[in-house]
Amino acid sequence: MTSENEAAVSAAVAKLYDTYPFPPEPFIDEPPPGYNWRWYWPTAYNFCTGQLPPTEQVKILDAGCGSGVGTEYLVHLNPQADVIGIDLSAGTLKVAQERCQRSGANRVSFHNLSIYDVDQIDGQFDLINCVGVLHHMPDPIRGIQALANKVAPGGLLHIFVYAALGRWEISLMQQAIAMLQGNRRGDYRDGVSVGRQLFEALPENNRIVKRDKERWALENHQDECFADMYVHPQEVDYTVDTLFELIDAAGLEFVGFSNPNYWNLERLIGKAPDVMQRAQTLDKRAQYRLIELLDPELTHYEFFLARPPLSKTDWTQDQLLLASYPTLTPCLSGWPSQSFFNPDYQLVQMSDEKYAFLQACEARTESQTIADLLETAPLELSEVRTLQAQQLILLRPPE
């Protein structure tokens, strides 16, 4: 049951996005460029399980789809999927509909619904995408529980929420603008005007100004982005501790953060063996908290939850690995080349041997296994495992 206060907050959020549809990316009359591996079912499933999914004929929900930027990627990246988008803002949904129509993303239906009311959509979903939404809800726990109920067995829930430490300066500016608006708070165009004037007036060496120029200025020249960041009527910023309170409330399995390199203790304190040893005695959540305390640049958490049973593959067995069927990930930029951008858009350099093996994976016939490919493109099995761990190759186990 929605309380009077929750309804008022939800109405204020809808009004913001009716005024400033977000994200404000321009329309294009073709499929969107590039990729996000988290929105591509085979690579998302591979990240969570270590293997390719048994089928690509899946149901996908974009929960809080906004202006449809992520939705059209979900449609184009998953050509066998049925996609549904829901959003609280009717004005923003109109933008999403036009965006998808113009780019040819025609396997999607939209519904003007709150996440709280997602049970009005029939069935369950193999992949639910909820990016930048829960932290704007008056009751995020109720929101994540509503989504969790719609995850099919073996399905995934991909979530993105704000992190408090990396958004500290944003929080200060939000509070300052709200104070200066007074009883005009809720007039979002006035809020943007007040915020713009503040940034113009503050000294260049002001901490808030410097942070904005370092991280946000490029996108914030658009009023839609500025409003979403600085004059939003509802925002919850998390720390690791409060994040896992949210996760635990979902009643799903925490699979992992989708940016595991950030959560690697070795990169921060590996040069101090004694300290590293002490850190490794902490439980996993405490290690996560330690990492964000020592490197408070993180502005958001992005992670996967799953509803069991989720079958995971252990590739440490040589015979299993040799009998598997490899596929080169489609989420590469600059391929074919020995130097290209990986699924996280990070530049990687391949040795001659690895490059030859990746080429063999790309050219293989349906029946060829890793053992078959190694006959013409020899590579140590440890190196094959490295390619799999880096998500450069996706593996299907033998039946």
Type and span of the H or E element at 110 = strand 108-112
Average pLDDT over residues 62-80: 98
Residues 82-102 have pLDDT tens digits of 999 999 999 999 999 999 999
Residues 348-366 have pLDDT tens digits of 999 999 999 999 999 999 9
CA distance 161 to 209: 23
Q: What is the percent of the chain with per-residue pLDDT over 70, rounded to a whole number? A: 99
Residues 216-246 have pLDDT tens digits of 988 888 999 999 999 999 999 999 999 999 9
Tell me what pLDDT residue 219 has: 85
Contacts of 380 (CB under 8 A, 6+ apart): none
Contacts of 22 (CB under 8 A, 6+ apart): 66, 67, 92, 224, 225, 227, 228
CA distance 6 to 2: 6
Does 23 sit behind a cis peptide bond, omega within 30 degrees of 0 on the bond before it? yes
Instruction: Using CA atoms of 357, 360, 361, 363 in order, give the dihedral in degrees to the nearest 10.
Output: 160
Question: 3-class SS at 59?
Answer: strand
Q: Kindly report which listed range (35-49, 207-221, 273-287) carries the lowest average pLDDT score.
A: 207-221
Average pLDDT over residues 161-186: 97
32 with 42: CB under 8 angstroms? no
Tell me what pLDDT residue 399 has: 87
Q: What is the DSSP string of 281-320?
A: TS-HHHHHHHHHHH-TT--EEEEEEEPSP-----TTSHHH
Residues 362-398 have pLDDT tens digits of 999 999 999 999 999 999 999 999 999 999 999 999 9
Angle (CA) 287 44 265, round 5°: 20
**Nearest one of 121, 124, 105, 104 to 113, comparing CA atoms:** 121
Return the residue matching tokens 């993180």.
298
pTM attached to this predicted model: 0.96
